[in-house]
Amino acid sequence: MIKIVLITGATSGFGKATATLFAQNGHDLIITGRRWNLLEELATELKKVNMIDVMPLCFDIRVKDDVENAIFSLPEKWKKIDVLINNAGLASGLGPIQEGDYEDWEKMIDTNVKGLLYMTRTVAPMMIVNRKGHIVNVGSIAGKETYPNGNVYCATKYAVDSLTKGMRIDLLPHGIKVTQISPGAAETEFSLVRFHGDKQRAENVYKGFQPLKPEDVASVIYYVTTLPDHVNINDLVIMPTAQASSMHFNRTEG
Ligand code: NDP
Ligand code: 8X3
């Protein structure tokens, strides 16, 4: 059955790879992000190659009114969202709490926690009306283990972990599935954003081992959304083979 899948943060990394995989499997997509040129480019490409329908929506997930306007003004067909993938998120900075930058903190809390909440609060009632749906939250290993200097980013991902559990309970009577995917280190724009554009620092994160690729995470997201109706994955941690925990890496390459 063709599904309507809404993916936040589809201009890059996991979101883009996930959009590509769902498109290859014939599903219609709502893709979101702040960079209109990238959304437009991806929408054009996915439509051309896969003969599917794609609705690009450009908005900042931190702005509640913009989230609501974007979703509420969707044409009726697009309001029948089967899968919401709450993927948009970021780390901004990596340093001790006593030196923390307020702007970085607000960015992370507003995006990773409040943005995810705005999306969920807007889309979940539509799923309830449609009597079906699946919400997939992209958490992180950072939401399972706090690591040095990760403080606020880790806290936002612990919040995602807790919210996923809360959503699962609250949406249980409505038959709506809720899943969290918690990846370890993956090479995307993530570290470049975390280090405010410092390429060298970003590259160093992945030195000496094979990190996850965005496609690895996409395939897991696809897997959890294509299980039989009576099966729900609550939580799935996916790591590079060369990473055992937030702090344990096997850096043996080059
Ligand atoms: P990328 O930086 O490659 O992608 C992040 C996406 O989020 C972009 O599409 C970006 O779009 C979007 N986004 C960020 N801020 C906003 C905003 N305010 N409004 C709308 N969209 C926004 O990183 P990843 O693909 O790695 O990250 C995806 C998710 O995975 C995040 O939640 C991240 O925390 C999590 N994660 C990442 C891991 C990693 O090692 N890479 C590991 C574990 C979890 P745009 O800039 O166009 O707005
Ligand atoms: C991103 C992975 O380990 O940098 O969530 O926090 S990590």
At 254, the pLDDT band (50, 70, 90 cuts) reads: low
Cβ(188) – ligand 1 distance below 6 Å: yes
CA of 230 to the centre of ligand 1 (A): 30
Annotated catalytic, 206? Answer: no
Question: Taking the domain 4-238, which CATH number applies?
Answer: 3.40.50.720
Atom 36, ligand 1: which residue's CA is nearest?
Answer: 140
* pLDDT tens readout for residues 190-234: 999 999 999 999 999 999 999 999 999 999 999 999 999 999 999
* pLDDT tens readout for residues 165-193: 999 999 999 999 999 999 999 999 999 99
Q: Which atom of ligand 1 is nearest to the CA of 188?
A: 3
Q: What is the mean pLDDT of the chain?
A: 97
Task: Give the H/E segment covering residue 177.
Answer: strand 177-183
CB 239 within 8 A of CB 209: no
**How much is the average pLDDT of 150-156?**
98
Q: Which of 102, 118, 147, 153 is catalytic?
A: 153
Give just the sign of the alpha carbon dihedral 203, 206, 210, 212.
negative
Nearby residues of 99 by Cβ (< 8 Å), 6 or more positions away: none
H-assigned helices in the chain: 13-24, 36-50, 64-72, 102-108, 116-130, 151-171, 190-194, 199-205, 214-225
CB 134 within 8 A of CB 225: yes
CA of 102 to the centre of ligand 1 (A): 20
Of all ligands present, the nearest one to the C-alpha of 146 is: 2
Domain residue spans in the chain?
Answer: 4-238
pLDDT of 146 reads 98
Asked whether the predicted pLDDT for residue 253 surpasses 90, the reply is no
* pLDDT tens readout for residues 79-120: 999 999 999 999 999 999 999 999 999 999 999 999 999 999
